[in-house]
Amino acid sequence: MVLNRAARKEAELRLGQIRRSVSIHVFTHRFEDSLSREVRQLAEELAELSSRVSVEISDATESGDLLRKFRLDTIPALVLTTKDAPEVRLYGLPLVYSFDILLDIVTGLGSLAEAKPELLSYMQNHAGQASRSLVTIDLLVSRYQNTSIEAAAALWRIIKAEKAGLGTEHIIGSIRIVEDFPNWVHRSDARQLPCLFIDSSITIPWPFTDELIAEKALFGHK
- Assign 220 a pLDDT band (cuts: 50, 70, 90): low
**Inter-residue contact 55 to 26 (CB < 8 Å):** yes
pTM of the model: 0.95
What's the confidence (pLDDT) of residue 155?
Answer: 97
What's the confidence (pLDDT) of residue 25?
Answer: 98
Query: Could you count the other beta carbons within 10 Å of the beta carbon of residue 209?
Result: 10
What pLDDT, in 10s, does the model give residues 34-84? 999 999 999 999 999 999 999 999 999 999 999 999 999 999 999 999 998
- Assign 126 a pLDDT band (cuts: 50, 70, 90): confident
Does 137 score more than 60 pLDDT? yes
Does 213 score more than 80 pLDDT? yes
What's the confidence (pLDDT) of residue 197?
Answer: 96
Does 145 score more than 50 pLDDT? yes
What's the confidence (pLDDT) of residue 191?
Answer: 85
Dihedrals phi, psi of 97, to nearest 5 degrees: -70, -25
What's the confidence (pLDDT) of residue 222?
Answer: 45
- Assign 143 a pLDDT band (cuts: 50, 70, 90): very high
pLDDT averaged over every residue in the chain:
94
Q: What percent of the chain has pLDDT over 90?
A: 82
d(CA 153, CA 150) in angstroms, rounded, equals 5
Per the omega criterion (within 30 degrees of 0), is the bond before 207 cis? yes
Mean pLDDT of 15-40: 96
Residue 97 one-letter amino acid: Y
